[in-house]
Amino acid sequence: MQTNLPTDLLATEQGQTADKILRSCVHCGFCLSTCPTYGILGDELDSPRGRIYLIKSVLEGNEVSKDTLDHLDRCLTCRSCETTCPSGVEYGHLLDIGREVVEERSPRHPLQRLSRYAVRKSLTTAWFLI
Ligand code: SF4
Ligand code: SF4
């Protein structure tokens, strides 16, 4: 896939990795057959290929909309799509990068940000699990 990431992002390791992964996708759609969210919802934007387009758009500097957030939030991060990709696209790695950038620029309500932070922190802190 052709990409047009901004030069300041391409100057970072994260940007270079994302660009390489994006360019390895050939839009074939084989991954759709093993994606549970696409299987249930039937929406291209809830498929790996659709989410790759959304991440590409965000990394190229386009707006992060509520719809973009919803489609990326619905991804289970199961990486089942990677098992059927003939091009070896590292979707999980791209998703991590995309989510980080989206989180920085997202239109989430501050309370939602706070509750997500609290859940993430509590689930990854040892004292909470004792
Ligand atoms: S990680 Fe799982 S839910 Fe997300 S796009 Fe891939 S197959 Fe679908
Ligand atoms: S199977 Fe791989 S190359 Fe084909 S659309 Fe999905 S991620 Fe892209």
pLDDT tens for 83-100 read 999 999 999 999 999 999
Q: How far apart are the CA of 126 and the centre of ligand 2, in A?
A: 37
Residue 96 tokens read as 């991590």
- Residue 36 CB–ligand 1 contact under 6 Å: yes
Ligand nearest 84 Cα, by number? 2
Ligand 2 midpoint to CA 94 (Å): 13
Q: Please calculate the CA angle 16-21-23 and round it to the nearest 5 degrees.
A: 95
Please indicate, yes or no, whether the overall pTM of this predicted structure exceeds 0.85: yes
Alpha-carbon distance of 92 to 51, in angstroms, equals 11
pLDDT digits (tens, 9 = 90+) for 12-66: 999 999 999 999 999 999 999 999 999 999 999 999 999 999 999 999 999 999 9
Measured from the CA of 88, which atom of ligand 2 is nearest? 2
Rounded CA-CA distance 117/112 in Å is 8
Those residues whose C-beta lies under 8 Å from the C-beta of residue 27, and which sit 6 or more positions away, are 1, 49
Q: Please give the CATH topology (third level) of the domain spanning 7-129.
A: Fumarate Reductase Iron-sulfur Protein; Chain B, domain 2 (1.10.1060)
Ligand nearest to the CA of 26: 2
Q: Residue holding tokens 């799509």?
A: 81
Spans of all domains in the chain: 7-129
